[in-house]
Amino acid sequence: MKPLLTEAGPRIDPATVAFDIDGVVADTMRLFVDIVREEFRHSELRYEDITCYRLEDCLDLDPEIRNTVIAQLIEGSHRRPLEPIPGAPEVIARLSRLAGPVLFVTARPDAGFIEPWLHSVLPASHNGVRVVATGDFDAKLEVLRHHEKVFFVEDRLETCFTLNEGGITPVVFRQPWNRQPHPFVEVGDWAELADLMALP
């Protein structure tokens, strides 16, 4: 039976949760904005302008610029560093010490850049991570089932609905691009996530 997670409902068992990376752990969209502003002279672009996940639907930006920057983000070829979302490394380290290696499932085509990046930003005291790159948002469901995960923290609403239909309870990580109505529990930062998991 699928667990019911509501504002007043049960806490997340730390052993049963997995995480997306971009927009949840990695501040990828903020780096996207910084690159576009600084390298392509679009100083008017703001983080809050990204009101939908499909960038072409909400940004008045040349497709060539958009695709160039996205390629840099996927390959890790950008000059500016990719920063973690505040609080993420510390909470992940606490979680891993409590429940063992933490699972991350990303729709990136491969983990070639993002897995070493994740290790580089985590405290040395962490107890391991595992990164699975699916190359497809919809493929996350089977990975989570295979690893017997019950909860998934995600910033893309469409994925949350897909996971919910497949028996995985999504937790929405609040971002400007997921402000459409939805029935899921959401968190605004990693302190709220740590609370949901009742981490010591």
pLDDT in tens, 93-115: 999 999 999 999 999 999 999 99
Report, as an integer, the average pLDDT of 44-69: 96
Mean pLDDT, to the nearest integer, of 128-143? 97
- Residue 129 has φ and ψ, to the nearest 5°, of -135, 160
Contact in structure between 80 and 185 (CB atoms under 8 Å): no
d(CA 117, CA 95): 18
pLDDT at 10 over 80: no
pTM for this model (two decimals)? 0.94
Mean pLDDT of 183-187: 96
Q: pLDDT at position 166, please?
A: 97
89: tokens are: 């490394």
Q: What does the pLDDT read at residue 120?
A: 96
Q: What is the pLDDT of residue 9?
A: 52
What is the C-alpha to C-alpha distance for residues 144 and 26, in angstroms, rounded to an integer? 20
What would the two tokens of residue 123 be?
């405290």
- Given a cut of 50, is residue 143 above it in pLDDT? yes
Is the predicted pLDDT of residue 4 greater than 50, yes or no? no
> Six-digit token pair at 46?
């703001």
The CATH number corresponding to 14-27+83-196 among 3.40.720.10, 3.40.50.1000, 3.40.109.10, 3.40.50.2300 equals 3.40.50.1000
* Residue 17 neighbours by CB under 8 Å, 6+ apart: 95, 149, 150, 151, 152, 153, 171, 197
Query: How much is the pLDDT for 2?
Result: 45
pLDDT 10s digits, 162-183: 999 999 999 999 999 999 999 9
Interatomic CA distance for residues 47 and 62, integer angstroms = 17
Share of the chain above pLDDT 90, in %: 91
